[in-house]
Structure 1
Amino acid sequence: MSAPIKPDTKKLILDTAEELLLTRSFSAFSYQHISTALGVKNAAVHYHYPSKTDLGVALIQRYRRRFARWTAQQETLAGDPWQKLEWYFDLVVRYYDQNQRICPTGVLSAEFLVLEQPMQTETRAFMEELLNWCERILVDGLEKGYFRFKGRARDRAAVIMAALQGGLQVARVLDSSAVLDDIIKQIRLGLGAGGQLG
């Protein structure tokens, strides 16, 4: 009879830190919160992540890997530019539906000036990846006739990302997912939606 598989402490620490980041913020939790939630000593957390900045960098790198996998998976599916944006809208709505979470870039950008430099570097890289992805979708949609809007695709991508991040925060304060629904509807209209409105 084989021994039971021991949970990966390092992964459990990251999982717990992620939940705390999205529901509280990076500054509003400590290693004590993590160790209490996991039933371990603070030393166990410090063993895997000597400083909180080390933990923060690991969290952002994890998000970046997830996003890279998600966008790669998109490329294997037969979605048009509208569908690809709708998949992203769905991701944002699911953040709110899970305990009124805020997306990681929203949390990190709100706290950006108080983050240590290694976390700022990772946050900038993550935000660039999000904006670059959205810009590519918009350019593709314009070229193929799916979208109609004035101005640069990069500027429109920034507006979309800012609207969704801000929407999550407003929805949390008002305790209303309808805020997100309305913002997404306005984004669709701004891209020339017709049949996309639901």
Structure 2
Amino acid sequence: MSDTVKAIMDATERRIREAGYSGFSFREIAADVGVKSASIHYHFPTKSILAAAVARRYNARIVEAADTAVAAGQDVVQAWKAVFRSALDDGAKMCLCGSLGATVGDLTPEVAQEVRRFFDAGIASLVAGGLAEERAEQVFATLEGAILMASAQGDPAIFDRATANLG
């Protein structure tokens, strides 16, 4: 991946996490990165292709982080909790796929598919770690809700309180 493509994807991820799918335009991303809009269109012909690529990269990174922690001996729930909490620590507002998922009905099929893949992968990871599917769904919903509340209120401690009893 070239430095320009990485910068475009980083800027897009940041904007989606802050304001959702409708919270970015190619013009804004170009300004963030310091390139012309045509450069973004060259690498990502449509907004949908760009958003799907960003979601795919995000999914791989987040699932890998949780899986790596579990492989190192961390409890699966604690691993996923730490992944979500780290998003707040790095200044991000929301889980990318949580932000996109809030408006899934407005997304193109390719972006919606990546959002669903994220939730499916997270739940599958929790199940592989020993949770029943229903409990895995409860844990994942709690994590998504907690990061939403903490982001909306601008208070990461809300996440900690909301997830304290997850196990």
Whether TM-score is above 0.5 comes out as yes
Residue in 1 that maps onto 2:113: 121
**What 5-or-longer segments of structure 2 have no aligned partner?**
none
Question: In 2, distance between residues paired with 1:100 and 1:48?
Answer: 25
Greater Cα radius of gyration, structure 1 or 2: 1
CA RMSD of aligned residues (A): 1.8
Following superposition of structure 1 onto structure 2, how do residues 27-66 of structure 1 map, counting pairs within 5 Å? 27-66=22-61
Which of 126, 137, 142 is residue 158 of structure 1 equivalent to? 137
Percent sequence identity is: 26
* CA deviation after TM superposition for structure 1 residue 97, in Å: 2.2
Residue in 2 that maps onto 1:137: 129
Counterpart amino acid of 1:42? Answer: S
Which of 87, 91, 97 is residue 99 of structure 1 equivalent to? 91
Aligned residues: 166
Following superposition of structure 1 onto structure 2, how do residues 7-26 of structure 1 map, counting pairs within 5 Å? 8-26=3-21
Which of 164, 175, 190 is residue 154 of structure 2 equivalent to? 175
SS in 2 for 1:187: coil
8 Å contact kept, 2:30–2:37: yes
Question: In 2, distance between residues paired with 1:121 and 1:109?
Answer: 10
Misfit runs of 4+, over 3 Å: none
Change (3 A) 1:168 1:157: same
Structure with higher helix content? 2
Query: Deviation per CA, 1:14-42, whole angstroms, max 9, x where unpaired?
Result: 11111111122121111111101111111
**TM-score after normalising by structure 1:** 0.77
